[in-house]
Homo-oligomer: A and B are copies of this chain.
């Protein structure tokens, strides 16, 4: 490996007199990458890693068609094919024919898939706890609450019809 000799980004920022507290982007990136890294480790043996988990978790609620699953998780439908190939090979999900449309396949976790999901969720919980390790119990709650509000807002904004799609709908 040639890259990333781990020198602290923080140290140099402080040396330059920049206030860390003022840089949302830096903090957000560090925390997110740390969580991403920890959860990727937790999901290491799962085909598709974090995305394999998302597929498993999403399909666990109710059997979903491949294309819907892809749309929901924001992955390309071709990627979804590969992802499901691997998960199916590992015996974690199965493709069932959709009785109402013979072109479509319904994706559902197998029994083994459900068991794996339980275990994975427990491991992810540990990763979360580790990331929040710097905060006291009460602070964690506050942080989670505020973050969740930002996320809900961001999620809504991102999916709200924009000016263009509204305009398209209007010219009827």
Interface residues, chain A, CB within 8 Å of chain B?
Answer: 2-10, 12, 15-16, 18, 20-22, 24-32, 34-35, 39, 58, 61-62, 68, 70-78, 124, 127-128, 131-135, 139, 142-159
Contacts and interface: CB of A to CB of B under 8 A. Distances in A.
A7 to B, nearest CB: 5
Contacts of A158: 6, 30, 34
29 contacts: A2-B76, A2-B78, A3-B70, A3-B76, A3-B77, A4-B75, A4-B76, A7-B68, A8-B159, A9-B72, A9-B155, A10-B152, A12-B58, A20-B148, A21-B145, A22-B144, A27-B147, A28-B147, A28-B151, A29-B32, A31-B147, A31-B154, A34-B158, A131-B154, A133-B153, A139-B146, A143-B146, A143-B147, A143-B150
Nearest to A147: B27
A172 to B, nearest CB: 21
A12 B72 contact: yes
A150 B134 contact: yes
Contacts of A30: 151, 154-155, 158
A36 to B, nearest CB: 8
A78 B1 CA distance: 12
Name the prevailing secondary structure of the A interface residues: helix
